[in-house]
Amino acid sequence: MTHRARHLITGQLVAESALHVGASRSDAVTDLPVLRDGSGRPLLPGTSLAGVLRRTLPDDEADRWFGSHDGSTTHPSVVIVDDAPATGGTYERHGTQIRTTTAIDPRTGAVKERLLFSREVVPQGTIFSLSLELETDDEASAEEFLQRLAGTLATGIRVGAAITRGLGRVSLDGDLERRTIALQERERFLDFLSDVDHRSPVTPASAVTEPRSLMFALPFVPVGPLMTSVELPGGAVDRVPLTAPTEAGHVRLTLPGSSIKGALRARALYLLGTLGKSADDPAFVTLFGAAAELDEERRQLGRRGRLIVEDSGVDTPIPAEKWQAVLDASGQEAPRARKALTTALSDLASDSLPRFIPADRVAVDRWTGGAAEPLLYSLLEPHHHTEEWEPLRLTLDLDGVPDDEARRAVGLLLMVLREVRDGWVKFGYGTRRGLGQVRLAEGKDDISVGESLAGWFPLRDWRITGKEQPPQAVDDALEAFIQSPSDATSLLSTQEDS
C-alpha cells in the first residue's frame, strides 16, 4: 500500500534511572552485559520501545498503529521504531556500571546459594537518540497519535529488565521533532529530495494521571551506617559503599531499588507467616510476583509483581576524582594501603558529606570463643549526619487488577510500610550487624492516588508517619488482607491485644 505521507520523528530520550537491556549471553566482565550496537554503544532496541509504546494504547488503537495478526484483520505496523543508541550524557563521561545482586533467604537471613550475579547497567542521565517513522493517509489521526506519543514519552516509560526494581525509566528530553514527506505532492517531495528542512515540534498531549495506581514518597533518615556494598578484596578495606555516577562529573551514594524491594519483600513474607499464610497468597503475588515454573506443557508461568521501587541516593554529590582516589587507595596492598586511604578520606572530608570510617570486623568461633581466622574483614562505613537521602519512592500499579485483589495488595503493602515506620525493616548491607537502620521523617510522607482508584481509596489527610485517623478505605484494605478462612484474624487480634 502506498501512503500519501511519511512522518520522520526524531528526539532524545534521557535515562531517569539506571537501565539494563540485556544481551543474549554473559561475558568475561559480568553475567548480564547490556546490549550494544556495532560501534559498542549501549542501545534501546526498537522492538523494546515499540512494545512499550504499544502497551500504552487501547487495544483497537494499538492494532491500528502497531499492526495486528488477528485473522482477517492482519496488517503490518505503520510505525517503524529504530534502535536508540546512547549518544551522550552520563555514559559519555563515566561509561557503564556493574552492580552485583543477590537473593536473601528470609528464613536464615543469609545469601541464597547460586543466586549471586552481576548486571551491567547504563547510568542515570545517559542520552539516547530516538528515531521513528509513521506512514498514514489520515493526517488528523496522525497528529493526534503523535501528540499522544509525545505526551507518553514526556511522562516517562520503562524499558528493559528489572523495571520493578528501579531500572529502565526513560523520558523525553526536549521536544519531538517531525519532518513530513508528502509522497504524492510534487513540490514538497522535491523539497525533501533537495534537503529543504521543514521540521516542526510535536505538541505533547496533556499528561494523564496514571489511572489506577498508588504512589508513595517516604522521606527517611539513616540512624546508623547505610550502604550497599561493593567488594574490593585484598586492599585496605574489603567493601566500600555503592555509588552511581551523575551527569556533572560526580558520584553519589546509592541504595538500589532491588535492595529496598528485597527488604520489603522479606518483611511481607514475615507478616504472612505470622498470619498463617505463605508466598502463594494473592496479595503477595500481586505486589512481588511469582517465580516462573513449568506447567504440564512446559510453558513458563511466572508473574511480574506490580510494586515498583526506585533507587534512592544521597542528595549531596561526591566529586568523582576524590571518590576514585578513595577507591584506588582502598585497593592497594598492605602495608601502605591504610595510610593512603586515610589521606584520600581526609581530602574527601566535608560537612555536607557522610563521614567515612574504615571499620574492621571479625567473626567469632563459637567453639573457642576466639576470632575465626579466615573471617577477618573490613568495611568503609558511611556515617551520616546532615546530608539527606532521596525518599523511598514506590508505585503500586493496579491497572487490570480486580478490586478485591487490589484491596488485599494495598492492605499488605500498608502493613509493610507501617513496619518500616516502626523501625522493623532495615535496608542495604550488614542489616544483622548493626547497619541499615532508618527512621521515617514524621508526618512528611506524600501519597497520591491515580484517578480510577481514588473512588475506593480516599486518602484525605491520612499519613503513614502521622497520627491521623486512617479513612475507611484504608481500614477496608487492611481488613481485606487479614480476612482468611484460617484463624489469621484471631491471631492478629491476639497480637494487638498483647
Q: How far is CA 75 from the centre of its chain?
A: 35
The DSSP string of 121-160 is: EBPTTEEEEEEEEEEES-HHHHHHHHHHHHHHHHH-EE-S
- Of the pLDDT bands very low, low, confident and very high (cuts 50, 70, 90), residue 488 is very low
How confident is the model at residue 367, as a pLDDT? 80
Domains identified in the chain and CATH numbers: 5-202 (3.30.70), 213-315+389-497 (no CATH)
Whole-number pLDDT of residue 301: 62
Residue-wise pLDDT for 98-111, tens only, equals 888 777 666 665 66
Helix ranges (DSSP H) in 173-332: 186-193, 257-274, 282-288, 320-330
What is the mean predicted confidence (pLDDT) over 236-247? Answer: 88
| Cα 43 to Cα 85: distance, rounded to the nearest angstrom | 4
pLDDT score for 460: 59
395 near 306, Cβ under 8 Å?
no
Tell me which residue of 227, 232, 223, 306 sits closest to 260, measured CA to CA: 227
What pLDDT does residue 170 have?
Answer: 95
pLDDT computed for residue 287 by the predictor? 95
Is the distance from CB of 90 to CB of 247 less than 8 angstroms? yes
Helix (H, G, I), strand (E, B) or coil at 211: coil
Q: What is the dihedral of CA 146, 147, 149, 152, to 10 degrees?
A: 180
pLDDT at 153: 92
Across the range 382-410, mean pLDDT stands at 86
How far lies 271's CA from each of 285, 295, 305, 338, 483, in Å?
14, 29, 18, 44, 14
**Which whole number is the average pLDDT over 139-150?**
87
Q: What is the pTM of this model?
A: 0.85
Q: What are the φ/ψ torsions at residue 402 (nearest 5 degrees)?
A: -55, 150
Kindly report, residue by residue over 159-207, the tens digit of the pLDDT: 999 899 999 999 999 889 888 776 555 666 666 666 655 677 888 887 5
What pLDDT sits at residue 18? 93
pLDDT value of position 268: 94
pLDDT exceeds cutoff 70 at 356:
yes
User: Is the pLDDT reported for residue 330 higher than 80?
Assistant: no
Q: What digits encode the pLDDT tens for the residues 421-466?
A: 888 999 999 888 889 999 888 777 787 777 667 666 766 566 777 7
The reported pLDDT for the residue numbered 331 is 67
Cα separation of 220 and 263, whole Å?
Answer: 15
Encode pLDDT of 29-84 as tens digits. Answer: 788 899 999 999 999 999 999 999 998 888 888 888 888 877 667 778 889 999 99
Percent of the chain with pLDDT over 90: 31
Note the pLDDT of residue 467. 62
Q: At residue 334, does pLDDT exceed 80?
A: no
- Residue percentage of the chain with pLDDT more than 70: 81
